[in-house]
């Protein structure tokens, strides 16, 4: 079975770039434009092997999305990679504290994205 990932980002260009990178690597991808749409996709289109979520979005930001996800018994262990322009070590620590599994600063390299996705998937299977 192919890996299935949900990408939650309010910037359409990033959603398309990420989708293209992941699909080229054989990953099935669903897209959502903010945290609210992401939670609806989790309920309707899942299960997902991992979620890539932007931090700063309208309606529902990535932090709130992750907190909701972690409260859902059926989805609380889904690996989450935070995508953001925030780049200090304090930002990364904050994201790790509210429940993400990894952190990628935008803009990113495709190789970095794929390597981090593979790493969180390996940890989830272990």
Q: What are the tens digits of pLDDT across the range 77-107?
A: 999 999 988 666 776 777 777 889 998 988 9
CA distance 13 to 11: 5
Start-to-end C-alpha separation, the chain: 18
Using one digit for the tens of pLDDT, what is the confidence trace for 38-77? 999 999 977 899 999 999 999 899 999 999 999 999 999 9
pTM as predicted: 0.92
Quote the CA–CA distance of 55 and 91 in Å, as a whole number.
Answer: 10
Check residue 70 and give its pLDDT. 94
Q: What is the pLDDT of residue 87?
A: 67
Which three-class secondary structure state does DSSP give residue 5?
Answer: strand
Who contacts 91 (Cβ-Cβ below 8 Å, separation ≥6)? 84, 103
Per DSSP bridges, beta strands 50-54 and 28-32 are: unpaired
Are the CB atoms for 29 and 50 separated by under 8 Å? no
CATH number of the domain that residue 97 is part of: 3.40.50.2300
Residue 126 pLDDT > 90: no
Could you tell me the residue range of the domain that residue 110 belongs to?
4-125
- The count of structural domains within the chain is 1
């Amino acid at each position: 079975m192919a890996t299935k990932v949900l990408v939650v980002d309010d910037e359409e260009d990033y959603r398309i770039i990420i989708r293209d990178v992941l699909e080229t690597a054989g990953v099935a991808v669903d897209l959502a434009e903010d945290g609210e749409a992401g939670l609806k996709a989790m309920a309707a289109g899942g299960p997902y092997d991992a979620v890539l979520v932007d931090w700063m979005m309208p309606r529902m930001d990535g932090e709130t999305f992750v907190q909701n996800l972690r409260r859902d018994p059926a989805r609380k262990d889904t690996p989450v990679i935070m995508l953001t322009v925030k780049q200090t070590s304090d930002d990364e620590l904050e994201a790790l504290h509210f429940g993400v599994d990894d952190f990628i600063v935008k803009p990113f390299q495709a190789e970095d994205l794929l390597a981090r996705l593979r790493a969180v998937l390996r940890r989830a299977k272990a």
